[in-house]
């Protein structure tokens, strides 16, 4: 008996997984970057306060810190949305599980799980 022919993979579906994976990966990196920036700014502000730096300079650094914190929450909101969307696609596209893009997307979801507050 002959083996069944493999069904051709729809490149549009695979491309969508690849694009969504890239979005999740980028947003996770952005969030981490803004968190690191916020930490550095906090340390810099504390150092400036202990060294009795100019109040204007401290105020400007605090404004930068607030902007970074806003960006963290914005990145997190977008990351959660992108993570949920990719996760949903992965559940509906299980027939693509043998493709490299699907496997890569599983890794991206796993790596971004903590950043996206998904347990």
pTM value? 0.82
Query: 109: which residues sit within 8 A by CB, 6+ positions away?
Result: 24, 83, 86, 87, 90
pLDDT in tens, the chain (119 residues): 444 445 567 889 899 999 999 999 999 999 999 999 999 999 999 998 898 888 899 999 999 999 999 999 999 999 999 999 999 999 998 888 888 999 999 999 999 988 887 76
Distance, C-alpha 11 to centroid of its chain:
24
> Running DSSP on this structure, what letter comes out for residue 115?
T
């Amino acid at each position: 008996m002959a083996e069944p022919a493999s069904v051709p993979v729809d490149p549009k579906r695979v491309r969508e997984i690849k694009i969504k994976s890239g979005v999740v990966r980028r947003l996770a990196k952005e969030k981490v970057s803004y968190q690191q920036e916020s930490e550095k700014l906090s340390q810099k502000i504390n150092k400036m306060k202990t060294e009795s730096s100019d109040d204007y300079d401290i105020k400007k650094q605090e404004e930068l810190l607030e902007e970074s914190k806003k960006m963290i929450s914005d990145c997190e909101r977008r990351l959660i949305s992108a993570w949920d969307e990719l996760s949903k696609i992965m559940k509906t596209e299980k027939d693509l599980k043998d493709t490299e893009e699907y496997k890569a997307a599983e890794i991206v979801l796993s790596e971004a799980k903590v950043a996206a507050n998904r347990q």
